Amino acid sequence: MTGNVRPDTMGRITTPELAEAFIEEQIKELRAQIGDKKVLLALSGGVDSSVVAALLIKAVGKQLVCVHVNHGLLRKGEPEQVVQVFRDEMDANLIYVDAVDRFLDKLAGVSEPEQKRKIIGAEFIRVFEEEARKLEGIDFLAQGTIYPDILESGPVKAHHNVGGLPEDLQFELVEPVKLLFKDEVRVIGKALGLPDGMVYRQPFPGPGLGVRCLGAITRDRLEALRESDAILREEFAKNGLEGKVWQYFTVVPDFKTTGVKNDVRAYEWPCIIRAVNTVDAMTATVENVPFELLQHITERITHEVPGINRVLYDMTPKPTGTIEWE
């Protein structure tokens, strides 16, 4: 599959049969492209990179080297789960890189969203550069670029952009799902035999919690974000909304509001809940979350998460709001 424009003749991949045909074609193309060379993949554990990993494992097996970078902006429990699923269960070549301090130090004091994305993207490139140099003999870089990334994102926003690698370390790109919409990637993942928990997992942006910890990221506010997000996910799972709602998360802005906790004035952050449905991320509607559940989640977040004294629900569809807040 070449080019960055989806041909008019390309039908939507909606059935297992169409997925099988796509997979067969991709395996042939990947083998032809890669030969007996090695491929490096940034494996975040999200749907896109997981599907790319599974395609490549099918096509070239152990020639694939997955690198999971913990940049400190992942959701609670996520790095551990990636290692467990891919290294232990799928027997993939997986390198785990703990780069938490490195990313957070670089991001300290930076508040402009696109600047944050740039820093995260650039640091990713450096990490890959280091891993690639350690590994030797890597010729290809696989990426989970999907079509909305190409349509909507400028070069700065796209986390898949690898521009900026030094001259002596240029990889050829492998982007087997770049013309697919998210729903199609899920159909492919299912056909590849990936577990449901991975295939129907909600999408998570490359910059991760970094664009949900609004403004300049601080470790304490990032932790409040991670904990509130974990509570939201736990409650959605318990109440049958996991796998039903397309994307849901919390956002913690960089301002405080006055509240009362244990009869004492509490000047703390608010936390915003966002829960949206979409097919291809180009437009989105707001999930009609039961009011009682919102009240329960509010109660839990305000009582269990240090630093948060208020919870709000974002009622804005896309347009006019984007899905993310930054």
Q: Which residues bind ligand XMP (CB under 6 A)?
A: 117, 152, 157, 159, 203, 205-207, 247, 281, 318, 322-324
Coil/strand/helix, residue 121:
helix
Ramachandran area for residue 100 (φ above 0: left; ψ -120 to 50: alpha; else beta): alpha
Complex with ligand XMP: residue 17 or 152, whichever CB lies closer: 152
Complex with ligand XMP: residue 148 or 195, whichever CB lies closer: 148
Nearest approach, Cβ of residue 164 and ligand XMP (Å): 16
Coil/strand/helix, residue 113:
helix
- Rounded to whole angstroms, how far apart are CA atoms 49 and 92? 13
Nearest approach, Cβ of residue 157 and ligand XMP (Å): 5
Contact residues for 20 (Cβ-Cβ < 8 A; gap 6+)? 191
Nearest approach, Cβ of residue 235 and ligand XMP (Å): 20
Complex with ligand XMP: residue 115 or 322, whichever CB lies closer: 322
Complex with ligand XMP: residue 20 or 183, whichever CB lies closer: 183
Nearest approach, Cβ of residue 206 and ligand XMP (Å): 4
Complex with ligand XMP: residue 157 or 221, whichever CB lies closer: 157
Nearest approach, Cβ of residue 315 and ligand XMP (Å): 15
Neighbours of 200 (CB within 10 A): 16
Nearest approach, Cβ of residue 318 and ligand XMP (Å): 5
Complex with ligand XMP: residue 140 or 147, whichever CB lies closer: 147
Complex with ligand XMP: residue 58 or 126, whichever CB lies closer: 126
Nearest approach, Cβ of residue 278 and ligand XMP (Å): 8
- Rounded to whole angstroms, how far apart are CA atoms 82 and 312? 31
**Amino acid making up residue 261:** K
